[in-house]
Structure 1
Amino acid sequence: MFRTAQVITSLNSAIGRAVSWLMLGIVLVQFAVVILRYVFGAGSVWVQESILYMHGFLFLLSAAYALAIDAHVRVDVFYRDASPARKALVDLAGCALFLLPMCAVILWHAWPFVQISWMIREGSRETSGIPALYVLKTAILVYAGLLALQGLALMLRAAAALSGNAPALETFARKEG
């Protein structure tokens, strides 16, 4: 159980670290756009849209990594001072009652839009824009899937901690809230 959680977390960590490089890409491309526009008087819709795509991919594909490293915003009125077992129980309940249903709703509602987008090979509204909007829309499904997987990993880790698994319990003891 705990091993499965570690594998899922490793996957999401690798994806999160890889897509974090998109931030550098965003900065460099935005810098190039500014130079092209104000120094050379030129612009490119495709290049400007690429910034939006990178931004979308960055946030959609790194959300599960943020959950893995406990970087999401949390109202920690009670959580911070709770025992490791209570933290595990809160995380287990939170994932089961809120996170996984939210991911299911996102998948359920996004699927038809992504499917249609792929069928028509949806592209930019701009003639010189990126002709692959369907790829960006697919990232919404990947986002919900990776987040659900990480939620499952968190639930497995919490269940292991509640059943007395020392390494799992230690992960909740280190959490600050």
Structure 2
Amino acid sequence: MIDTIVWIVTNIVMAPWNLVRALTQPGAWLDWSNGESLVRFIYYGGSIEFFFVVFTAFLVFTAVGLWWTGLLWGAVRVLESFANGVGRVAAWAGLLMVLQQIVIVFAQRVFASAQLGFGFGTTFSFDVSWWSEELRLYNALVVVLCCAYTFVQRGHVRVDLLYTPASYRTKKVIDMAGALFFMMPMGVVIWLYGWFFMWRHLVTPKVSASDQLDLMMRKASILRWNVETVSFSPNGFNGYFLFKVLLVIFAAMVLLQAVAVFYRAYLEWREGPAAEGRYLDLDTADAAASGH
């Protein structure tokens, strides 16, 4: 137990140094034309060091915010605005998916065409089966990029057998606990495994979450870009690596939304019912009428 505490404290203390070292030596991990730099970027993106840099930044920001609540309200507004902005744009992927499906049906059943092309000037043309499989990407975009947005809009289904009858302050404590002990750990786990899962489909030789830095550095000389372009059918969609990228984006957006949920719940708990829904940007007509 003591060893674990010492390990955590040591990593927190070292986090500022690791951050400064990374920022002052960007060429060591951002020069992707160099195999060693790319290896460092891959390794540290899912490393303990990176986790504690983010965790320490969260602790420091929260500590300052406990003294100056305006900072936390600012963070809530920025994070929720980001989630709303991304979600409102990504939601249009649902309409594109429907329109594209209609075009595919007409192309196959009415015009008996094997190819579909879209574009102005330069035509983006693929087999109909490619466009059919690509519809899955629209589904993924909506799920990944609209998850945090739906959370801000309070659109997720809540199992509230205990939540509904609870008092106002108890609800806020539940929200804080849910963000800290469920959303954040889930986001971290998805990030750690999704990060290396993504890179396994972008470079060769394949990397693993269990690889140590020295082992990965030995692979640097033979590391090459090898973006996955395998399709599930002949002439089918060949951009499935995008789903791996979206998985990492999903983890990042869940983590950011968890921070927003925690800060909002804390501020509403601290300032009372008068603060509930403050600065909340909802899409519903009722919310607009109430001034939120």
Paired letter, 2:105: V
Cα drift, residue 54 of structure 1: 0.9
* Whole-angstrom distance in 1 between the partners of 2:87 and 2:167: 29
- Report the more deviating stretch, 48-57 or 6-15: 48-57
2:91 to 15, 20, 33: 20
2:176 to 83, 86, 92: 92
Matched, 1:118 2:202: yes
Structure 2 match to 1:141? 248
* Whole-angstrom distance in 1 between the partners of 2:272 and 2:134: 46
Task: Give the secondary structure class of the aligned counterpart of 1:86.
Answer: helix
TM-score by length of 1: 0.89
Structure 2 unaligned segments of length 5 or more: list them.
1-71, 115-127, 204-225, 281-292
Aligned length: 172
If asked which structure has higher relative contact order (CA below 8 Å, sep 6+), I would say 1
Residues 45-60 of structure 1 correspond to what in structure 2 (within 5 A)?
A: 45-60=129-144
1:6 to 68, 77, 84: 77
Task: Give the secondary structure class of the aligned counterpart of 2:113.
Answer: coil
- Report the more deviating stretch, 98-107 or 80-89: 80-89
* Whole-angstrom distance in 1 between the partners of 2:244 and 2:87: 18
TM-score by length of 2: 0.55
Task: Give the secondary structure class of the aligned counterpart of 1:114.
Answer: helix
Residues 23-172 of structure 1 correspond to what in structure 2 (within 5 A)?
A: 23-43=94-114, 44-119=128-203, 120-125=226-231, 126-164=233-271, 169-171=275-277
* Whole-angstrom distance in 2 between the partners of 1:106 and 1:25: 28
Cα drift, residue 97 of structure 1: 1.0
The structure-2 alpha-carbon separation of the partners of 1:84 and 1:171, relative to structure 1 and needing over 3 Å to count, comes to: farther
* Whole-angstrom distance in 2 between the partners of 1:78 and 1:58: 30
* Whole-angstrom distance in 1 between the partners of 2:196 and 2:245: 11
Cα drift, residue 27 of structure 1: 0.4
Task: Give the secondary structure class of the aligned counterpart of 1:163.
Answer: helix
Is the 8 Å Cα contact of residues 123 and 129 (structure 1) preserved in structure 2? Answer: no
* Whole-angstrom distance in 1 between the partners of 2:228 and 2:272: 49
> Percent same amino acid at aligned positions?
27
- The structure whose residues are more often helix, as a share, is 1
- The structure whose residues are more often strand, as a share, is 2
Structure 1 unaligned segments of length 5 or more: list them.
none
Task: Give the secondary structure class of the aligned counterpart of 2:140.
Answer: helix
* Whole-angstrom distance in 2 between the partners of 1:70 and 1:99: 15
Is the 8 Å Cα contact of residues 36 and 42 (structure 1) preserved in structure 2? Answer: yes
Is the 8 Å Cα contact of residues 202 and 228 (structure 2) preserved in structure 1? Answer: yes
RMSD (CA atoms): 1.9
What whole-Å deviation, never above 9, does each CA across 1:67-122 have from its counterpart, x for those lacking one?
11121111111222333222111110011111111111111111111012122211
Structure 1 match to 2:60? none
What whole-Å deviation, never above 9, does each CA across 1:105-164 have from its counterpart, x for those lacking one?
111111111012122211242453333322221011101111110111010111112222
Structure exhibiting the larger radius of gyration computed from Cα positions: 2
